[in-house]
Structure 1
């Protein structure tokens, strides 16, 4: 990793200021409050403003075609994070767009890509099934060919953002008798197609996700991405990006790991807590003057700093596990007022630690559970064998 500072030219500094001014204009306190209330992690007004001002097109286009260069892309991403832009639906759209560019028919590319740039079209991920767990290849949602169309039946769980999107990147099973990785076909399904029902679900941290039902959904073959039963090849790029299984860039201008957004939020909350614990009370003493408090806070900060420095898959595991481990300790240090949520009178740190405590379990299952990623590290990085989940053999009775 390269921790050296980047000196901005006058032009790049002006770009940063332009980005900051745009975001401060559109990402208001009202936007952030509304996002907390809805749990959507998306604001259509902000997203459409980004499209109208050319930011979304600049994100997608390569530098040679007028897009952002590496430094300006990094500046833009950091400014969005500073402004707390509601981000999840824009993120799923970005993950899928590459597969649309590479595998979609010319008609679908012409239909979808310009409207991604304008912000009118957003894309969500139709992967997990209610009884499928983290293994997306165990897909039971069926797509059966009917002439130039496909008939799709099944359901998908945790399709976050579906109610704010126009298309879903959908895994289907087109050959139930084939091995699971050779039975999949990918579609980009318009979400206004008859037979699709979206039902909202609230997670423990207040976010909204969805379960989506597909009942005799009729989709034209032009919305197929890639070859029939060749969906695994289409899926691998977006899956790798979501999992954070990507090589580090040569210039160091990338996030250290895929969960760095969540990690940065954790760091901001911990900094606030440290400030509170450093303030003098009516008796003139600071909570940090208690050596036990200082030890526990210091231990939490040390763990957090180590997790923030861990790369790709390691960082995904380290950040999520650290959030799970330190949030209850921080709440305990702060006292009973830390159990109150944001914007509540008497909340010790305006609900920061309480939100981390509720958010931590979700961070441990985004894109797959921590156990899945630990197994991936064991197998693909450490070279260990596959886990054996079979029941142990029973000893024979004598």
Structure 2
């Protein structure tokens, strides 16, 4: 991997400046305030403006088809973070759209993809079930062929369908053969969310974000919305699932995130920077908290862990980032004192709520796409060759 600094051409510098200005005008304080209040991580006005300007399509497509060059893609990603563009719904839309392009019938792809690029259609993930945990293959939501087989009837429920209330379709995993082994019983559908029988209920998580539980009661779906083969859903699901897990090969040019949770890790970077500024600022008597050796040691330890985490690649990085966020954020709050418990935007917050937000956000980062325990097992099994974990009860010793 090449770690050399990329020297931007004049054209790429102009592109960076144009994007920075565009996003600064678009993502206003009102947008950010509404996002904090709703927890949606989505703003329709912003999303439609990105689509109208062609940015969504250029981000999604490769350079050979009119998308960004590798350098401009990196510039775009970094500038979106700088502006705090509400991003989650586009993230799920982009992942699902790739499966639509690959597995959907041409008429469905033609129905969906142009509106994905304009911003008028958004797509969400219908994976986890209330009793399913991280193993989405243990799917109980049933899809049964109806009548002449031209349609299906779906019954069940899904948890953590983030963005469903702002989306038009859900990428839904269903069980179409309960007697078959679990990875051979799954069929994927792109279900229109305005179908009769669908109920979306909002849930607020501890970090303030909104997700949803979605109920499917005798939802009728035309067979044209099936993606891939019947009982071949695992094949359809693998690519977006790998992308969500971070199990993707690193690029040789170094122009991509080191690991999949770098966006979330950025909040910890910001919290560390703010904490350093607070403890390095002289108080009324001229003393600085950082002059206390224990404060310097603990802050330095946290920053060192943060630097290691954001430098850890691939699936290892998502584990390192989530665990480091969990471990370092309470230590930062302790260093900053009781005023660090005040949230973002509150008068008197020690660091404008940066560490407090990471403290609430960290548990969620540790379960996105699967828990940390799941990912540690994946590393142990597939990277270290330790075999499958054994959860059976310990064998009793003979007396």
- Give the TM-score of the pair, scaled to structure 2: 0.98
Unpaired runs of 5+ residues, structure 2, are none
Counterpart of 2:236 (choices 228, 234, 237) is 234
Task: Quote the offset at 1:144 in angstroms.
Answer: 0.1
Q: TM-score, normalised by structure 1?
A: 0.99
| C-alpha separation in 2, matches of 1:351 and 1:72 | 32
Q: 2:259 aligns with which of 257, 260, 270?
A: 257
Tell me the secondary structure at the aligned position of residue 188 of structure 2: strand
CA distance in 2, matches of 1:226, 1:168: 15
Report deviation, 1:271: 0.5
Find the partner of 1:301 among 284, 299, 303: 303
Deviation at 1:342, TM superposition (A): 1.0
Q: Distance in 1 between matches of 2:348 and 2:51?
A: 40
Offset at 1:62?
2.1
**Equivalent pair of 2:128/2:160 in contact (CA under 8 Å):** yes
Number of the residue aligned with 1:165: 167
Q: What residue number does 2:138 align with?
A: 138
Corresponding position of 2:82:
82
**What are the within-5 Å matches in structure 2 for residues 190-201 of structure 1?**
190-201=192-203
Partner of 2:218: 216
Kindly state the Cα deviation for residue 61 of structure 1 after the two structures are TM-superposed.
2.2
Q: Deviations over 1:163-215 (max 9, x none)?
A: 01000000000000000000000000000000000000010000000000000
The match for 1:359 among 336, 361, 364 is 361
CA contact (8 A) 2:2 2:252 kept: no
What are the superposed Cα offsets for residues 192-242 of structure 1, whole Å, 9 maximum, x if unpaired?
A: 000000000010000000000000000000000000000000000000000
In the alignment, does 2:333 pair up with 1:331? yes
- In 2: Cα distance, 1:15 partner to 1:283 partner: 48
Counterpart-to-counterpart distance in 2, 1:328 and 1:22: 36
**Structure 1: distance between partners of 2:58 and 2:356:** 37
Q: Within 5 Å, which residues of 2 pair with 1:261-340? A: 261-340=263-342
Residue 36 (structure 1) aligns with: 36
Distance 1:394 1:7 in 2: 65
User: 2: distance between equivalents of 1:103 and 1:167?
Assistant: 15
How much does 1:343 deviate? 1.2
* 2:295 partner SS: helix
* Distance in 1 between residues matched to 2:388 and 2:102, nearest whole Å: 32
Taking the aligned partners of 1:374 and 1:180, their CA distance within structure 2 comes to 22
Aligned twin of 2:377: 375
Q: How far does residue 65 in structure 1 lie from its aligned partner after superposition? A: 2.2
Rounded Cα–Cα distance in structure 1 between residues aligned with 2:190 and 2:140 = 17
**Structure 1 counterpart of 2:96:** 96
Partner of 2:20: 20
Given the alignment of the two structures, is residue 120 of structure 1 paired with residue 102 of structure 2, yes or no? no
Q: Tell me, yes or no, if structure 1 residue 186 matches structure 2 residue 178.
A: no
Q: Which runs of 5+ in 1 are unaligned?
A: none
Q: Is residue 2:129 matched to residue 1:129?
A: yes
Contact 2:101/2:109 (CA < 8 Å) preserved in 1? yes
The separation in 1 between residues aligned to 2:41 and 2:57, in whole angstroms, is 21
> Per-residue CA shift, 1:259-307, capped at 9, x if unaligned?
0001112101210110111000011110000000000000000000000
The residue that corresponds to 1:394 in the other structure is 396
Report the count of equivalent residues.
397
Q: Does 1:243 align with 2:245?
A: yes
SS of the aligned residue for 2:368 comes to coil
